[in-house]
Chain A
Amino acid sequence: MDIRRGIAVSPGIAIGSALVLDTEGVVISRRTVPVEQLPTEKLRLTGALARAATEAHSRERILTEQIGRAVGILTGHAVMYEDATLRRDVERLIDDQHYSAEFAFSRHVRAIIRRFDDLPPGHDFTRLRSDFLDLERQVLNQLLGITPSEPVPLAGEPVIVLAADLTPSETAQLDPKTVHGFATESGGPTSHTAIMAGALEIPAVVGVGRFLHDVSSGDTVIVDGGAGLLIVDPDPATLEKYRQLRLAATAESGTHVEVTMRDVPPITRDGVRISLLGNIEFPGEAVNCIERGADGVGLYRTEFLYVNRTTDPTEQEHYEAYKTVLTTLGPTRPVVIRTLDIGADKFSSASAMLSAEKNPFLGLRSVRLCLKNLKLFKTQIRAVLRAGVHGEVRIMFPMVTTVMELRQCKSLMAEVVEDLEEAGIPFKARIPVGTMIEVPSAALMADVLAKEVDFFSIGTNDLVQYTLAADRNNENVAGLYNPADPAVLKLIKMVCDAAKGREALTVNVCGEMSGEVMFTPLLVGLGLRQMSATPRKIPEIKRAVRNLTVADAERVAQVALRMETAREVTTYLREQQRRYSPDAAD
């Protein structure tokens, strides 16, 4: 048994046989051909390039439909297959060296990649390496008659895909019905692969480091996407443990709970209505919220509009994405759009603004970055206001640290309102404004912030990280990162207390904490009447809410708030969970 730790990017457990995708090794048997065959080789090349181009165009279309916006990378590949210079250079190799079409194309692409490899490390063009490997693979597949759906089978035994990295075409091809999980050697939490995995709800671990030489196709592997583990060749005890975990997970999020919980309201046993909202990243996920019986979208992350592209999104691109989500949710369900929440290194126009930061999580990111890049910020705000005519839109600013930042955001919004009025463009002027509470200073100043906004949303992931000063992806300190820590509970209570007596101010929790059923009684007991979680968790939370009374929940919160350590709180909440989620006690 071999356990590897990587970066957890998409939760869930997958057990199955490994399918190793080898990005390097298509075997080319014929390197040279007789002279009389050269014209045939050139015709084969032309045909293969044309078919590869058609396929790339069609994959871009499918991907666009799937995730609700154009990515453009596969169009870039298609335009490359259609490139006259590329074809002429390869034809020359066929003519001069008597190479087969396969060998000539492969040689030429490898020469191009070497040019990029020779650039200084960290050079942006070195990222094109995987694109050219993808081009090579696609054209060789065409030439060798390997069907494009291979090597990932479309039907049959479920597999866990293991790869050095997944190229754009490969990622676009993954079918959740067959691919139950995947793990890659490289990649980071914000890579294209990671984002896709989350949207497709495929358990995934990336950035595992080199492991492919120790595993072969057919080996039994486990991907624990929540913990970020890849387990190769598990021993019987481990296998059994994970089978049980997967079974439990299927029972929780499986069709039974979903069907029974979808159409019943999230009301406690003593009649208090709790709003359950969904967190989404792509417009295409909005429908998941409806299917799981959510009351709206509590957190629409907009980062995907910015990453993995070389230009900033236009106002129209923002607008189209927001409009899709709003029209999916209908006229009455709220949609909370969070403005850009990433570091400057992640997207194009601002990346030139700063040299590498020594401490990026305490640096120029999120709303701080937007307030230094007003054009970018205004473009997004304009699109949100314009999209407001299509539904119940709300705007939320992330990582607000001081009340001054919040005031700046609001005055910027007022400017945008004036601009839109002057231009006579239809928009909704009065939309609810909220702030994330994810920095301890914001929680401590919640009573002041409360006067400025219509709602709070507690982002527990960052709040935990900043309160305990621990990065959960750093295994040396990950143990400190715990939402059950009494320090975190006190801050959450402070925020809820600040909202008391203000009828119009709603408080939401949108971090991973709200998706953990263990915390449901505690959060209700602290005073929360709204929670937002990944859509598939909603049926489970709804069931927990329906088993509660507010009086019980308040008692749980009082007991937990008196505890001194995260461990005590966790043990206590687990005990309580057995009472309120009867199925878990079986």
Chain B
Amino acid sequence: MTAKSSLRRSVVVANPNGLHMRPATRFAQQARVLPQRVTVTHGDRRADGKSSLDLLMLIAMPGAELWVELEGDDTGETAEAIRALCDILAAPGDDNDH
């Protein structure tokens, strides 16, 4: 059973270099495997979350507040997916891996 849904979450960019090449790459790679449409907004700029180019063009500096939105079929894991995506933006560096 699936239903159409839309979920939004705000996140503050914590990486000291801003939303740069590597976090943008990680974000896009992770977003591309999701069935939903992923949109990231920064003020009046919008980016396709599956495009690392779009994400870079947001020019999001450290401290910038971004909104991440997932739209489409609710897989039941949407909340988890949006949380994981926001974690990439909120990470000051890689989290300790254990």
Give the interface of A toward B (CB within 8 A).
72-73, 75-76, 79-80, 83-86, 112, 115, 119, 124-125, 128, 131, 309-317, 348-349, 351-352, 379
Give the interface of B toward A (CB within 8 A).
15-18, 20-25, 28-29, 48, 50-54, 56-57, 59, 61-62, 91-98
A316 CA / B57 CA spacing, docked (Å)? 32
**Closest-CB distance, B33 to chain A (whole angstroms):** 12
Which residues of chain A are near B17, meaning CB under 8 Å?
124, 310, 348, 351
A518 CA / B98 CA spacing, docked (Å)? 49
Known: A314-B97, A379-B96. A79 touches B23 (CB 8 A): no
A85 CA / B38 CA spacing, docked (Å)? 13
Contact yes or no, B16 A76, CB < 8 A: no
Which residues of chain B are near A311, meaning CB under 8 Å?
15, 22-23, 91-94
**Closest-CB distance, B84 to chain A (whole angstroms):** 16
A72 CA / B20 CA spacing, docked (Å)? 12
Cβ contact of A80, chosen from B53, B62, B93, cutoff 8 A: B53
Which residues of chain A are near B96, meaning CB under 8 Å?
314-315, 379
Contact yes or no, B93 A128, CB < 8 A: no
Contact yes or no, A73 B21, CB < 8 A: yes
Known: A76-B25, A311-B91. A348 touches B56 (CB 8 A): no
Which residues of chain A are near B92, meaning CB under 8 Å?
311-312, 348-349
**Closest-CB distance, A473 to chain B (whole angstroms):** 26
Closest to A78 in B: B25
Contact yes or no, A128 B94, CB < 8 A: no
Contact yes or no, B22 A83, CB < 8 A: no
Closest to A317 in B: B94
Contact yes or no, A316 B97, CB < 8 A: yes
Contact yes or no, B59 A125, CB < 8 A: yes
Contact yes or no, A310 B20, CB < 8 A: yes
Which residues of chain B are near A128, meaning CB under 8 Å?
20-21, 56
A315 CA / B96 CA spacing, docked (Å)? 6
Contact yes or no, B25 A79, CB < 8 A: yes
Subset of 8 A-B contacts with CB under 8 Å: A73-B21, A76-B21, A125-B18, A125-B59, A128-B20, A348-B15, A351-B17, A379-B96
With most chain A CB atoms within 10 A of its CB, the pick from B21, B25, B28 is B21
**Closest-CB distance, A354 to chain B (whole angstroms):** 11
**Closest-CB distance, B63 to chain A (whole angstroms):** 9
A99 CA / B84 CA spacing, docked (Å)? 40
Given A83-B28, A124-B18, A311-B91: 18 more A-B contacts, CB < 8 Å:
A72-B22, A79-B25, A83-B51, A85-B48, A85-B53, A112-B53, A124-B20, A125-B20, A128-B56, A309-B22, A310-B17, A310-B21, A311-B23, A311-B93, A312-B93, A313-B94, A349-B92, A351-B16
A85 CA / B54 CA spacing, docked (Å)? 7
With most chain B CB atoms within 10 A of its CB, the pick from A76, A83, A310 is A310
A310 CA / B89 CA spacing, docked (Å)? 12
Contact yes or no, A72 B28, CB < 8 A: no
Which residues of chain A are near B24, meaning CB under 8 Å?
76
Contact yes or no, B53 A76, CB < 8 A: no
A379 CA / B97 CA spacing, docked (Å)? 11
**Closest-CB distance, B93 to chain A (whole angstroms):** 3
**Closest-CB distance, B51 to chain A (whole angstroms):** 4
**Closest-CB distance, B38 to chain A (whole angstroms):** 12
**Closest-CB distance, B20 to chain A (whole angstroms):** 5
Which residues of chain B are near A73, meaning CB under 8 Å?
21-22
Which residues of chain B are near A80, meaning CB under 8 Å?
25, 52-53
A452 CA / B31 CA spacing, docked (Å)? 51
Q: Which 4 A-B pairs give the minimum distances between C-beta atoms?
A: A312-B93, A311-B93, A85-B51, A352-B16
Cβ contact of A86, chosen from B16, B53, B95, cutoff 8 A: B53
**Closest-CB distance, A114 to chain B (whole angstroms):** 12
Which residues of chain B are near A316, meaning CB under 8 Å?
97-98
Which residues of chain A are near B21, meaning CB under 8 Å?
73, 76, 128, 131, 310
Which residues of chain A are near B48, meaning CB under 8 Å?
84-85
**Closest-CB distance, A373 to chain B (whole angstroms):** 11
Which residues of chain B are near A313, meaning CB under 8 Å?
93-94
Which residues of chain B are near A124, meaning CB under 8 Å?
17-18, 20, 61
A352 CA / B63 CA spacing, docked (Å)? 11
A498 CA / B62 CA spacing, docked (Å)? 48
Contact yes or no, B51 A84, CB < 8 A: yes
A119 CA / B58 CA spacing, docked (Å)? 12
Contact yes or no, B22 A310, CB < 8 A: yes
Which residues of chain A are near B62, meaning CB under 8 Å?
352
Contact yes or no, B25 A72, CB < 8 A: yes
